[in-house]
A and B are shown apart, each in its own frame.
Chain A
Amino acid sequence: MKITLFIPCFIDQFYPQVGVSVVKILEKLGHAVEYPEAQTCCGQPAFNSGLWDEARAVAEHALDVFQSAEVIVTPSGSCGAMLRVFYPQLFAGTPRYDLACAVGRKTFEFSEFLVRRLGVTDVGAEFKGRATFHDGCHGLRELGVKDEPRQLLRQVRGLELVEMDPPEVCCGFGGTFAVKFPMISTAMGEGKCQAIAGTGADYVISLDSSCLMHLQGLLARQGKNIRCLHLAEVLAQSL
């Protein structure tokens, strides 16, 4: 299968190793990967700020870039949700509505793609350590991705997976929310960090680098020696 990668802008700029890991894993599984170099951003920051016209302009560009893809895989639950769930809303009533829906339908979050589409739960990864998993809200509630990353992690040799209590609570990032209401965002993040620390884990793993950026920023400020990693990084570490 020819897989088209969507590497969202902040992964491109801040966490390129996540993208590299995705490439390595998909290639190891025997698939051809392509990366249209004209891609930039999905438009979510503008969309979530209520600026739908600006978001649509960015999304139009993404539609141009991805329209001929067979499947689109992205290592971000949040950007995946933007394409699949919000593009149809954004283009409702416009001539590009059908295309928006089509692009949405062929978009997959990375773990979702591996497990649901490829039927792979064991990529032959090894990773030593105790880790907990953070459900990014968009992946969890907009895309319904919950078991897939856990299935993948359970097959990683050497990895001990422990669940947080409470599970499934937002980390407080929320895009521009994190800077518009920094104190609420931080309070939420602190709650999350407490839950993370409560597991005794050395690593927090997630499908969203944006959540991880927020959490890592808090953990570092608190002086906690817990590392945040994207699922793809964990799976690719031993490759």
Chain B
Amino acid sequence: MSPNTAVQFKAQATRLAADLEHRQWIFKALRGYEAKRDECKARFQNWEGARQAAAEIKYDTLNHLDRYLEQFVHHLESRGARVHWAADARAAREIILDLARQNQVRFIIKSKSMTSEEIHLNEALEAGGFEVFESDLGEYIVQLRQEPPYHIVFPAMHLKRGQISEVFQQKLQAEPVTDPEALTMIARRVMRQKFCQADMGISGVNFGVAENGMISITENEGNARLTTALPRIHVALMGIEKLVRTMDDLALLLPMLATAGAGQWLTGYNTLYGGPRLAGESDGPEQFHVVLLDNGRTRLLADAEQRDVLHCIRCGACLNVCPIFRNVGGHTYGTTYQGPIGSVLTPHLRGLREWKHLSYASSLCGACTETCPVKIDLAHHLLHNRRNAVQAHPPFFERLAFAGFQVMMRHPALYRLGTTLARWLQPLHGLVQGTALDPARAWTRSREAPRLARESFHAWWKKHRRTTSPS
């Protein structure tokens, strides 16, 4: 099973990288994002300082995660919320399914949550006989198309208006309009009914605040508010790494998330949730559940070299600047989390053997590291993943090739001899160029091959300089 994910990735990447229309569409969308992001960054007095502070907040929180989680849970429970601990994806699904069964739930409405994608919650709920509706517009569109989100922040960014209209016509018998406003109205009409019908609302969590046990949710459409306020049961699914210490921490991280994520100063709605409706309160759910998900996170926490990957606030900025993502698109990854963060994280969540290829599908340009608002050194983590992959599953032929490389490079005489031989052989390359026998085919299919110089620098030096400056 191991090569399948890699083979699929390569095939899909090869296909999409050649799709000029797709390339231009994504590129244009992300150029727009870049302009807005830069504008927002400029409103920070000191963006670099803010990054440093954000990284330190996450560093401290994770260093004392046990203590902060305890504090968080204590505050939540004291207000009547129920907290559940899920060691892995299956446990989390079971907890949520049980809640739905015990409470005779029929309709479930869900606001956007990548953590729920990570545990494949929708499939599990549907298999359990429950109807689930996504209330976020982009998320709803990809749900109707029966595909996973394309991007962790912009799930439907790959679709043009016409395609959205098409799916609305097919699935909702809607009229053929392409005006964004009209399209939104179609979704809103459907959704309004669902909000009234739903008896359970499921949300993700952007941040949990330890000092007061509040949950922070960031959104732009107001749908999360309705998802969490209207149904009688609210279930919030939260990765345990989403914690911050104080409201002050939140005051820094919310604008950073908005800036890095969507190029917004602040997102449209930022809401704090603290528990079920209490006596005398006029709205809010009767039951409030928080499911705390581990699913590999404590294992990553124990990894001194890569634990800072847990700092991630899922802003998606690294995807946006990643030239690989821009060319292969989000679906190609075949993972919940795409782009650089996905390539670094997925091997931890789903196994190195099957997912190591993602760490190699990078030019290591470092744009991701440069942009990450919490300063995760993504590019170097990719290198670490590669090293770990080699240690765990040594690639035979590559090892052999590099063993030869190593011997040659450690022995200058061999290196000179090898390159001299290559000079003699080079004219023969023309005979096989472009054929299946061409050893440089992966290069020469799309690029002209460089030619070895007639005389190496070493040879030039020997001739012209050695006498004047011996070494």
Q: Which residues of A contact B (CB under 8 A)?
A: 7, 9, 11-20, 23, 32-41, 43, 45-52, 54, 57-58, 60-61, 89, 137-138, 140-142, 166, 168-170, 172-175, 177-189, 191, 213-214, 216-218, 220-221
Contact = CB atoms under 8 A, between A and B. Distances in A.
B30 to A, nearest CB: 10
Given A13-B456, A14-B452, A43-B409, A37 B31 contact: no
Interface in B388-413: 388-390, 398-399, 402-403, 405-406, 408-410, 412
Contacts of B412: 37-40
A221 B433 CA distance: 14
Most B CB within 10 A of own CB, among A37, A60, A179: A37
Contact of A181 (B10, B399, B469): B10
Nearest to A65: B412
Nearest to B356: A50
B45 interface: no
A84 to B, nearest CB: 14
Contacts of B405: 41, 45-46, 54, 58
B453 A16 contact: yes
B461 A48 contact: no
Interface string B421-455: 01000000000000000000011011111111101
Nearest to A218: B447
B406 A184 contact: no
B323 A183 contact: no
Contacts of A217: 443, 446-450
B25 interface: no
A182 B434 CA distance: 14
A37 B360 contact: no
B436 to A, nearest CB: 15
Contacts of B78: none
20 contacts: A13-B419, A13-B453, A14-B450, A37-B412, A37-B471, A41-B415, A49-B390, A57-B406, A58-B410, A137-B365, A140-B366, A170-B363, A180-B360, A181-B10, A182-B443, A183-B13, A189-B446, A213-B450, A217-B449, A218-B448
B323 A50 contact: no
Contact of A172 (B323, B370, B451): B323
B398 A184 contact: no
Interface string B1-24: 000000000100110011000010
Given A50-B390, A61-B410, A187 B450 contact: no
Nearest to B385: A50
Contacts of A166: 31, 34
Contacts of A177: 360-364
- Determine the main DSSP class of B at the interface with A: helix
Given A9-B409, A216-B448, A172 B363 contact: yes
A192 to B, nearest CB: 9
Q: Chain B interface: which size bin?
A: 35 or more
Contact of B387 (A11, A14, A52): A52
Listed from nearest, the 6 A-B pairs whose CB atoms lie closest are A174-B363, A217-B447, A50-B386, A170-B365, A141-B366, A16-B457
B328 interface: yes
Contacts of A189: 446-447
Contact of A184 (B34, B328, B415, B419): B328
A74 B70 CA distance: 53
B366 to A, nearest CB: 4
B390 A9 contact: no
B221 to A, nearest CB: 30
Nearest to A182: B442
A179 B333 CA distance: 19
B398 A169 contact: no
Nearest to A181: B361
B163 to A, nearest CB: 22
Given A51-B402, A141-B365, A177-B364, A216 B386 contact: no
B460 A19 contact: yes
Nearest to A86: B383
B451 A221 contact: no
Contact of A11 (B17, B419, B457): B457
A214 B447 contact: yes
Most A CB within 10 A of own CB, among B362, B455, B457: B457
A96 B14 CA distance: 42
B160 interface: no
Contacts of B409: 9, 40-41, 43, 58, 61
Contact of A48 (B27, B386, B388, B451): B386
B227 interface: no
A214 B443 CA distance: 9
Contacts of B415: 9, 40-41
Most B CB within 10 A of own CB, among A19, A187, A221: A187
B338 to A, nearest CB: 14
Contacts of B364: 48, 137-138, 174-175, 177
B458 interface: yes
B363 A36 contact: no
A173 B419 CA distance: 22
B200 to A, nearest CB: 42
B145 interface: no
Contacts of A173: 363
B18 A183 contact: yes
A173 B447 CA distance: 11
B323 to A, nearest CB: 5
